């Protein structure tokens, strides 16, 4: 029984020489599909707006997050190209008809495909890690938007800030750096709720 098992394993080992390259190509197809999907997902997420909208980030954080996301996109794109190259080979490759030449080419191709798949995996992991770091940077540097923002038009111009209250003395606005402004009631002509203050605030 042991001898028959050994012969069967030896036969499978000999057959593996002929099936290893197609199996690697099949694995490369899977990596290509996965990397293409991740790249497309990243492109869609970048276009969506939310709490981590880059326009709401401080300048340094915005540049850092943008660089991380951009680098991640390039890495995922490079991984996709490597996986495609591993799955389909190079365009214009010659068809080898001699047995020894084909055998040598197959060995070299197995090494190349394995190396390309390894690099594609590194690009995938690095790209996902960079996306995660970029999202963390965005989430940790973006504060919640202030509530009750208003734009107040007065006889002398416009002011924008957080509405803190109003009374006989006028309208009280909260400004940046915890400053306050009291706009005399006699000068206020209109007050409009807004979602974000522009340069007038």
Q: What angle do CA 55, 59, 64 make, to 5 degrees?
A: 95
When pLDDT is averaged across residues 6-30 and rounded to a whole number, the result is: 74
Average model confidence (pLDDT) across the chain: 78
pLDDT of residue 50: 46
From residue 181, alpha-carbon distances to 69, 92, 175 in Å are: 40, 73, 7
- Give 169's DSSP letter: T
- pLDDT at res. 52: 45
pLDDT for res 51: 46
Is pLDDT of 134 > 60?
A: yes
Distance, in Å, from the CA atom of 137 to the CA atom of 64, rounded to the nearest integer, reads 8
Question: For residue 199, what is the DSSP state?
Answer: T
DSSP letter for each residue of 72-140: HHHHHHHHHHHHHHHHH--TTPPPP-SHHHHHHHHHHHHHHHHHHHHHHHHHHHHHHHHHHHHHHHHHH
* Whole-prediction pTM: 0.58
Q: Report whether pLDDT(199) > 60.
A: no
The more confidently predicted of residues 148 and 193 is 193
194 pLDDT more than 50: yes
| Per-residue model confidence as pLDDT tens digits over 107-133 | 888 888 889 889 988 998 898 888 888
More confident of the two residues 198 and 144: 198
Neighbours of 154 (CB within 10 A): 17
At a CB cut-off of 8 Å and minimum separation 6, what does 1 contact? none
Reported confidence tier of residue 46, pLDDT bands at 50, 70, 90: low
d(CA 192, CA 1): 89
Q: How far apart are CA 157 and CA 28, in angstroms?
A: 64
pLDDT tens track for 65-114: 888 888 988 998 898 888 888 887 765 555 556 677 777 777 888 888 88
Residue in 150, 155, 134, 8 with CA at minimum distance from that of residue 72: 134
pLDDT score of 126: 92
172: pLDDT strictly greater than 50: yes
Residues of the chain with pLDDT > 70: what percent? Answer: 79
The pLDDT score that the predictor gives to residue 140 is 79
At 142 the pLDDT is 66
Nearest-angstrom CA–CA distance, 8 and 73: 47
């Amino acid at each position: 029984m042991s001898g028959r098992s050994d012969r069967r394993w030896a036969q499978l080992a000999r057959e593996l020489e002929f099936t290893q390259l197609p199996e690697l190509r099949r694995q490369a197809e899977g990596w290509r599909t996965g990397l293409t999907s991740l790249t497309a997902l990243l492109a869609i997420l970048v276009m969506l707006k939310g709490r981590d909208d880059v326009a709401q980030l401080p300048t340094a954080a915005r540049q850092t997050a943008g660089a991380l996301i951009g680098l991640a996109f390039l890495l995922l794109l490079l991984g996709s190209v490597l996986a495609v190259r591993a799955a389909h080979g190079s365009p214009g490759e010659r068809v080898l008809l001699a047995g020894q030449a084909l055998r040598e080419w197959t060995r070299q191709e197995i090494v190349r495909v394995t190396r390309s798949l390894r690099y594609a995996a590194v690009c995938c992991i690095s790209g996902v890690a960079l996306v995660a770091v970029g999202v963390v940077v965005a989430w940790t540097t973006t504060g919640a938007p202030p509530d009750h923002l208003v734009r107040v038009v007065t006889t002398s111009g416009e002011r924008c800030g957080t509405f803190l209250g109003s009374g006989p003395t006028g309208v009280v606005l909260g400004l940046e750096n915890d400053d306050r402004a009291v706009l005399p009631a006699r000068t206020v002509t209109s007050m409009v709720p807004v979602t974000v203050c522009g340069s007038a605030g």
